[in-house]
Amino acid sequence: MNQGDRIQREEYGTVSNGGYFTLEKGWSYIENKRAGQAEGTPPDYLTAEVANTVRRFHQGIKGYKTTPLVTLEQFAKELNIGGIYVKDLSSVLGLDSFKVLGASYAVFRLLCKTLSLNEETASFADLRSIPKDKFTFVTATDGNFGKAVAWVAHQLRQKTIVYVPHNMIMRRRNAIETFGAKVLEPKGEDKSFDGAMHELSSYLGKDSYLVVSDTSWEGYAEIPRNVMQGYLTMCDEAAEQLSSLGLRKPSHIFVQAGCGGLAASIVGYYNSLFGNDRPISIIVEPTTAACLLQSARNGKWAKVKLGDTIMAGLSCGEPSILAWPVLHNYAHHFVAMPDDVALYGMRVLADPKPPDKAIISGETGAAGMGCLTHILKANPDFAKKLGITRSSTILLFNTEGETGE
């Protein structure tokens, strides 16, 4: 097989009858042959037992409520599948993103370690006794994580510095500044999210400065690991909510990915519950920021050059070195799609047919729904390749509310 044939098979795939299915312009796809065959021990920090601990922590934060699981019964009938369930994280703790789950837990663990507090007996409320402005949290963001860290710092009466890409829309900057954060752009030539990330290293080890990132790099993994653990709360809630509906597990999970932290948390959690019987996972990225798909194609961690995308929360050119091994070993499929599919997903969520409930989502939050809907309506051969049938039950995560301009 020559190089051209190899890429064609990766990009277009094959269906069970040996024929090719064609993806439209702007789409890419890789099936991960390693899923279910990887050697070694699954990550022990993304288990259901850890999820129980993290969930109790979040339940102890004033104002925390279990986020809803929305059943789209009518839409599932329209698409001729067994069920669609959306875990709606558009209003966690009064914010409009799931990121506060990871940020709050990571900050809690970091401060307990810094102040030699007992994590098993301490609570988020206990941290409010820290002297005002004793610490400055430093992070980088494409929007939601920076706002989450700023919110946590505001709750604890501490300061925040947030590095953002040059092209971040003003509404996102203003939302971060609402919580008293100082918002800065990268000093170097790279003005993207990756450039913002590179600013953090200069703060490591500085007195009173605490770096809180959801992306890991060489020598920096503990805090991103805690961020990923923070996301287990929504996984555990979703599993419990599905169980209450009589569903042991979904057949498929569509989850959008930037650096991969959220996706790895979900895949790792379900692997801890079901092993090789876990739901089929489809990792969704923008075509212009498909670092995970490229890594899957290469068979190893890979960086990509970023292009423009409206899916701001997924605009990452470098996979998390912590998340990538989890996805490399246990995620089933990687799909990259154009921006208009995310817009399509927003419309689908916002304007359902009764009695389905409307869900307000941003471009990033609707990526999974856009991908699922477009595939089922426009490319049944692709759906067949993903194992989606009339009896399939799909779990999606709406990770953000309305973003605006």
Q: Rounded CA gap, 374 and 372, in Å?
A: 6
Alpha helices (runs of H) in 116-231, residue ranges in sequence order: 144-155, 170-177, 193-198, 222-230
**Residue 8: predicted pLDDT:** 42
List per-residue pLDDT tens for the chain, 405 residues long: 333 333 444 566 666 555 677 888 899 999 998 897 766 667 899 999 999 999 999 999 999 999 999 999 999 999 999 999 999 999 999 998 999 999 999 999 999 999 999 999 999 999 999 999 999 999 998 878 999 999 999 999 999 999 998 888 888 899 899 999 999 999 888 888 788 888 998 898 898 999 999 888 888 999 999 999 999 999 999 999 999 999 999 999 999 999 999 999 999 999 999 999 999 999 999 999 999 999 999 999 999 998 999 998 898 899 999 999 999 999 999 999 999 999 999 999 999 999 999 999 999 999 999 999 999 999 999 999 999 999 999 999 999 988 644
Instruction: Select which of 88, 142, 214, 339 is catalytic.
Output: 142
Instruction: Select which of 87, 88, 96, 99 is catalytic.
Output: 99
CATH number for the domain formed by residue range(s) 99-227: 3.40.50.1100
Residue type, 262: L
Q: Rounded CA gap, 27 and 394, in Å?
A: 21
- Is-catalytic flag, 88? no
**Residue 39: predicted pLDDT:** 63
Q: Is the peptide bond before 325 cis (omega within 30 degrees of 0)?
A: no
Instruction: Give whole-number Cα distances, 323 to 185, 220, 221, in Å.
Output: 26, 13, 10
Residue range 3-96+231-398 in CATH 3.40.50.720: no
Domain extent listing, the chain = 3-96+231-398, 99-227
List residues bridging with 140 in a β-sheet. Answer: 163
DSSP 119: T
**Residue 17: predicted pLDDT:** 52
CB neighbourhood size of 127 (10 A): 19
- Is-catalytic flag, 96? no
- Whether the CB-CB separation of 30 and 291 falls below 8 Å is answered with no
Smallest Cα–Cα separation from 86: which of 297, 360, 285, 385?
Answer: 360
Q: What's the pTM? A: 0.92
